[in-house]
Amino acid sequence: MKAPKIVKKAEGGFTLIELMIVVAIIGILAAVAIPAYSNYVVKAKVGAALTSVSSLQTAVVNCMQEAGGSAAECTTGSNGIPTFTPTKEVKEATVTAGTIVAKFAGGIAADVPADSTFTLVPSAVANQTTVTWNIATTATNATAVATLTKNNVGS
């Protein structure tokens, strides 16, 4: 009688070195992706903060047009300037002589404290229809500052 042949079947699976390579690649991708994602989140939140005060900007421009280009009388609660309603990104905003000062709410970024402000100062040229907004901030986050200063635009 013949002895049965024992056939060794090759086992499937990954070797330890292959698994280590995959883990290393995932680690490298995560090291690149997480800071980029954080920057996108800050840009989105700062953009939302600017959008939340846009109603005040519109009111100031209307007030300035009615006052012949002067922003001296454009203050919260008068001349059509509404009281600001807090949002997730901006906890308070006030208008004094056309200048909008807004305080960030917490959660924009780790290095943008809740008491950081951004200021929008209108400037109008006599006999022109455009108001230019100059933006300054006390925030120190580079992405937040870049996003704000990039938005120095006319309306």
From 63, 57, 67, 97, select the one nearest 79 (Cα to Cα): 63
User: Can you give the CATH number for the domain in which 116 is found?
Assistant: 3.30.700.10
Residue 39 belongs to a domain: yes
pLDDT, one tens digit per residue, over 42-68 is 888 888 888 999 999 999 988 888 887
Total domain count for the chain? Answer: 1
Residue 11 belongs to a domain: no
In whole angstroms, give the CA distance from residue 7 to residue 30: 44
pLDDT, one tens digit per residue, over 72-126 is 888 888 888 899 999 988 999 999 998 999 998 877 777 777 778 888 998 877 6
* Predicted TM-score of the model (pTM): 0.74
From 48, 46, 34, select the one nearest 143 (Cα to Cα): 46
Residue 137 belongs to a domain: yes
